[in-house]
């Protein structure tokens, strides 16, 4: 179907689903895709065929997403799978991630690009340790919208008391999350299709939207739309043709805020000020940029700007820093140790970094902070202090997901070994506002 433009909000929603197979996650996704006609006949026939061959009793919808040979053999999801569907109101991208502790890194990866998280709860089990971990990770990655999908209501006789008690439990816990999260609890049965796409006739006491209605209506912003204008430079466009002899455009994608022709900007690290003389795209010139879109920007003065530099406005400068604290999730089998050296990739910039100290680790079961640690193992989460060889121009992750995030890369293997979220910067007088902005 043709996606109509929703005039108020984006016509794209990216969301992540957390939960294990036992919570009915695959059934829920299968139900959404199937009811929105995003599963094709040949896909369904292939899945039916494989289910039969494997001796599964029902058509195993997990086989739709578990495409890798090892996954199909072992009946597990080992990676983030991306699924797509559309309704007349919106296009959806699902990052489907496995829910167990040993896949924390996959959940973090899926959550990094999501605007909404669906957290599944088995109505018979209520809020369990895994629920708390999923909510913690959604908060950590700054997902602002959470759907609490209380599934398997058919197995508790569609009882409102069970639902209310689970919601109260979850709300009590969510109140302690540092980043504010909007929570939408929905009672459902993914197996029978109650409140997934169509409203249930078995829960008269629930008057809220179905899951799909909520996903179609919920307000999200793609990219960061706030006042801190940030434009990381990716590439310098120099046609060197007769027609565009002196053209020198800074190619990039707006990380946040907006830029207008005539605006004064500061280029980092040079620290020099200039004025925007042109904002160009292939389709024509613009007066003003939009968040998340790509442009080529020209400046009045010839200053030395290259890839990895940042354009910002004088009234809202970024933090320029070589020392910072960050929450990280460790991805590698090879442990992180204090004094370890890595490449740090931040926006379009790469600098060398050394781990000064482990501030604390988070016990992923109790969510307590554990001090006096010196190393991180795979799937560990915690706060570390880094020293950088050259400055980066950043913001706290709590205010900017793009200029507040980075990855660490192993110097020997070149693998991406950690995801990082900047909590505060430690040099200069300008960091007081960021200090403690992100405590857990």
Decide: residue 35, CB within 10 A, 0-12 exposed, 13-18 middle, 19+ buried: middle
The site map against another protein for 338-357 (x = CB under 8 A) is -----x-xxxx---------
Q: Per rule CB under 8 A, is residue 217 in the interface with another protein?
A: no
Q: Candidates 128-136, 261-269, 382-390, 406-414 — which segment interacts with another protein by CB under 8 A?
A: 406-414
Q: Per rule CB under 8 A, is residue 102 in the interface with another protein?
A: no
**Could you tell me the smallest distance in angstroms from the CB atom of residue 153 to another protein?**
30
Q: Per rule CB under 8 A, is residue 331 in the interface with another protein?
A: yes
CB count within 10 Å of CB 376 equals 25
**Could you tell me the smallest distance in angstroms from the CB atom of residue 176 to another protein?**
25
Using DSSP, state whether 183 is helix, strand or coil. Answer: strand
Q: Per rule CB under 8 A, is residue 142 in the interface with another protein?
A: no
CA dist 344 and 351 (Å) reads: 5
Q: Per rule CB under 8 A, is residue 104 in the interface with another protein?
A: no
Q: Per rule CB under 8 A, is residue 205 in the interface with another protein?
A: no
**Could you tell me the smallest distance in angstroms from the CB atom of residue 298 to another protein?**
11
Polymer length in residues for the chain: 440
Q: Per rule CB under 8 A, is residue 416 in the interface with another protein?
A: yes
Applying CB under 8 A, among 238, 337, 341, 352 the residue interacting with another protein is: 238
Q: Write the DSSP symbol of residue 290.
A: -
CA 164 to chain centre: 29
**Could you tell me the smallest distance in angstroms from the CB atom of residue 427 to another protein?**
23
CA atoms within 13 A on the CB side of 170: 32
CA atoms within 13 A on the CB side of 284: 3
Q: Candidates 22-30, 145-153, 386-394, 403-411 — which segment interacts with another protein by CB under 8 A?
A: 403-411
User: Do 244 and 230 meet the contact criterion of CB atoms below 8 Å apart?
Assistant: no
**Could you tell me the smallest distance in angstroms from the CB atom of residue 14 to another protein?**
9
Q: Which residues contact 95 (CB under 8 A, 6 or more apart)?
A: 14, 15, 16, 17, 80, 81, 82, 109, 110, 111, 113, 114
User: 375-376 and 341-346 as β-strands: parallel, antiparallel, unpaired?
Assistant: unpaired
Applying CB under 8 A, among 17, 18, 97, 105 the residue interacting with another protein is: 105
Applying CB under 8 A, among 75, 84, 341, 390 the residue interacting with another protein is: 84
User: Do 63 and 12 meet the contact criterion of CB atoms below 8 Å apart?
Assistant: no
Q: Per rule CB under 8 A, is residue 75 in the interface with another protein?
A: no
The site map against another protein for 288-327 (x = CB under 8 A) is --xxxxx-x----------x--------------------
User: Do 275 and 298 meet the contact criterion of CB atoms below 8 Å apart?
Assistant: no
Residues 173-202 that bind another protein (CB under 8 A): none
Q: Per rule CB under 8 A, is residue 389 in the interface with another protein?
A: no
Q: Candidates 17-25, 58-66, 118-126, 428-436 — which segment interacts with another protein by CB under 8 A?
A: 58-66
Q: Which residues contact 307 (CB under 8 A, 6 or more apart)?
A: 233, 234, 235, 236, 348
User: Do 405 and 419 meet the contact criterion of CB atoms below 8 Å apart?
Assistant: yes
C-beta closer to another protein: residue 280 or 369:
280
Q: Candidates 187-195, 365-373, 384-392, 397-405 — which segment interacts with another protein by CB under 8 A?
A: 397-405
């Amino acid at each position: 179907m043709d996606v109509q433009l929703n005039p108020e909000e984006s016509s794209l929603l990216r969301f992540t689903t957390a939960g294990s197979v036992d919570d009915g996650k695959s059934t829920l996704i299968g139900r959404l895709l199937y009811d929105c006609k995003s599963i094709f006949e040949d896909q369904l026939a292939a899945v039916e065929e494989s289910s039969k061959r494997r001796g599964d009793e029902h058509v195993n919808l997990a086989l739709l997403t578990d495409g890798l040979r090892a996954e199909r053999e072992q009946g597990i999801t080992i990676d983030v799978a991306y699924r797509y569907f559309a309704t007349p109101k919106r296009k959806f991208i699902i990052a489907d991630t496995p829910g167990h502790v040993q896949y924390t890194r996959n959940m973090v990866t899926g959550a990094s690009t999501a605007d909404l998280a669906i957290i599944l709860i088995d109505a018979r089990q209520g809020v369990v340790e895994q629920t708390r971990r999923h909510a913690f990770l959604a908060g950590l990655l700054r997902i602002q919208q959470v759907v609490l999908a209380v599934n398997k209501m058919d197995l508790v006789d569609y009882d409102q008391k069970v639902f209310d008690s689970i919601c109260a439990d979850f709300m009590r816990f969510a109140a302690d999350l540092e980043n504010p999260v909007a929570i939408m609890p929905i009672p459902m049965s993914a197996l029978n299709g109650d409140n997934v796409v169509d409203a249930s006739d078995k829960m008269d006491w629930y008057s809220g939207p179905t899951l799909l209605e909520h996903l179609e209506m919920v307000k999200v912003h793609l990219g960061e739309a706030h006042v801190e204008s940030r434009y990381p430079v990716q590439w310098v466009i120099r046609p060197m043709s007769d027609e565009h002899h002196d053209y020198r455009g800074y190619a990039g994608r707006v990380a946040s805020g907006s830029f207008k022709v005539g605006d004064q900007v500061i280029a980092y690290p040079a620290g020099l000020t200039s004025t925007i003389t042109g904002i160009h795209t292939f389709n024509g010139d613009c007066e003003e940029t939009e968040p998340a879109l790509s442009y080529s920007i020209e400046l009045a003065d010839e200053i030395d700007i290259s890839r990895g530099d940042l354009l910002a406005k004088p009234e809202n400068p970024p933090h320029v820093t070589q020392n910072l604290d960050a929450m990280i999730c460790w991805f590698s089998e090879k442990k992180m140790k204090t004094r370890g050296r890595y490449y740090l990739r931040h926006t379009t910039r790469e600098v060398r970094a050394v781990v000064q100290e482990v501030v604390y680790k988070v016990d992923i079961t109790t969510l307590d902070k554990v001090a006096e640690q010196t190393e991180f193992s795979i799937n560990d989460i915690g706060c570390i202090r880094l020293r950088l060889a050259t400055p980066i121009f950043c913001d706290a992750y709590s205010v900017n997901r793009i200029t507040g995030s980075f990855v660490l890369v192993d110097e020997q293997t070149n693998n991406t070994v950690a995801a990082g979220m900047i909590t505060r910067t430690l040099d200069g007088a300008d960091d007081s506002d960021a200090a403690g902005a992100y405590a857990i």
